[in-house]
């Protein structure tokens, strides 16, 4: 079974654009609040700085693509310092589809932005999947197909035609999948999480095994033997690279699959319990309630009510 396909199936990532883009020149700064969202932006023309508390400024240039989790606030700004405008307030106040920032004609910048929306019941997987920031530089020859997708995206933005927004959104979604496929994409800080685990030569074997047979009663010793290292070496490495212990990850993934099945309504609680490695519905229900905060039947009922109303639990 393909580990990445597993993730895409439970996350169901969808991209949404913020209007028709942003034009800026002169001195400007646009701040983004802490929302725990997964935002993206790419630069069509010019360059700007990405500023985050406690980090050095990152220069984002023409053709670059940035994927950022808003676990902290951040700011996009011109090369000079200026008090930022709140992005949400700016969009609400603007009467144009394209947001205009700054004044004057010097150092023009055109950028596009948006966010990824994933299946709400498993959106917590993102916190362990990606580093806070991934910066894809336009000139990086290792990007391969990501670079091709970015070029197609840029062409579509410059020369819009019928259904351009639909095309751009699908291209951005493909970029996201390609980032996950590559695994080794460089981030702006030391990586850990599932993406790093997929790229690591030791932990990847364990992750693939878990995803191929999630119902098996895996032990740390079993997984260490599979990876060809000692139990202690494996446990330490898995914790360091993935960010949680192997059995903790196994349980997290079982709960993610269970939540997905409960929301689909295709299987009974007992069938789901067996499918994710529990020998009885009572054992599964106890573990589910402990990890998720409510019994499986209540979770499914709340999800169903949310879907018929606001679309979220």
Could you read off the pLDDT of 126-176 as tens digits, one per residue?
766 777 888 888 877 666 777 788 778 778 877 888 888 888 888 888 888
Question: What is the C-alpha to C-alpha distance for residues 86 and 106, in angstroms, rounded to an integer?
Answer: 22
For the whole model, what pTM was predicted? Answer: 0.74
Tell me the C-alpha to C-alpha distance, in Å, between residue 3 and each of 69, 100, 213, 290.
22, 42, 11, 26
pLDDT at 189 over 50: no
DSSP class of residue 310 equals T
Quote the DSSP letter at residue 84: P
Sorting pLDDT into bands at 50, 70 and 90, what band is 182?
Answer: low
Query: Is it the case that residue 262 has pLDDT exceeding 60?
Result: yes
C-alpha 19/C-alpha 215 separation (Å) is 44
Q: What is the pLDDT of residue 310?
A: 36
144: left (phi over 0), alpha (psi -120 to 50) or beta: left
| pLDDT number for residue 220 | 97
Tell me what pLDDT residue 121 has.
Answer: 83
How confident is the prediction for the chain on average, in pLDDT?
A: 85
pLDDT at residue 142 in the model: 62
Specify the residue for token string 């709960």.
Answer: 255
pLDDT at 260: 93
Query: Distance (Å, rounded) from C-alpha 267 to C-alpha 259?
Result: 11
Confidence at residue 184, expressed as pLDDT on a 0 to 100 scale: 46
What is the C-alpha separation between 112 and 157, in angstroms, rounded?
9
Which residue, chain included where needed, has tokens 């351009």?
A: 164
**C-alpha 225 chain-centroid distance:** 31
Model pLDDT, residue 313: 30
């Amino acid at each position: 079974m393909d580990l990445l396909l597993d993730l895409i199936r439970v996350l169901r990532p969808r991209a949404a654009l913020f209007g028709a883009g942003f034009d800026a020149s002169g001195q400007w700064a646009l701040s983004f609040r802490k929302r725990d969202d997964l935002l993206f932006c790419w630069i069509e023309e010019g360059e700007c700085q990405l500023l985050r508390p406690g980090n050095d400024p990152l220069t984002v240039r023409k053709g670059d693509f940035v994927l950022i989790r808003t676990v902290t606030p951040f700011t996009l700004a011109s090369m000079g310092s200026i008090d930022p405008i709140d992005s949400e307030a700016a969009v609400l106040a603007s009467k144009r589809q394209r947001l205009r920032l700054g004044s004057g004609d010097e150092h023009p910048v055109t950028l596009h932005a948006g966010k990824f929306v994933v299946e709400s019941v498993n959106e917590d997987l993102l916190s362990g999947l990606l580093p806070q920031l991934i910066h894809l530089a336009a000139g990086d020859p290792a990007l391969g197909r990501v670079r091709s997708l970015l070029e197609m995206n840029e062409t579509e933005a410059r020369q819009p035609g019928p259904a351009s927004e639909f095309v751009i959104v699908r291209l951005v979604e493909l970029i996201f999948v390609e980032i996950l496929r590559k695994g080794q994409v460089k981030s702006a800080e030391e990586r850990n999480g599932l993406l790093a685990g997929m790229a690591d030569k030791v932990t990847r074997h364990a992750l693939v095994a878990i995803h191929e047979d999630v119902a098996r009663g895996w032990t740390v010793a079993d997984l260490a033997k599979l990876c060809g290292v000692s139990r202690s070496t494996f446990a330490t490495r898995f914790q360091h690279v993935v960010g949680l212990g192997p059995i903790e990850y196994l349980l997290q993934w079982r709960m993610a699959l269970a939540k997905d099945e409960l929301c689909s309504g295709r299987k009974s609680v007992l069938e789901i319990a067996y499918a994710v490695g529990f020998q009885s519905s009572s054992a599964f229900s106890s573990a589910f309630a402990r990890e998720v905060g409510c019994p499986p039947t209540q979770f499914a009922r709340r999800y169903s009510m949310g879907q018929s109303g606001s679309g979220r639990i």
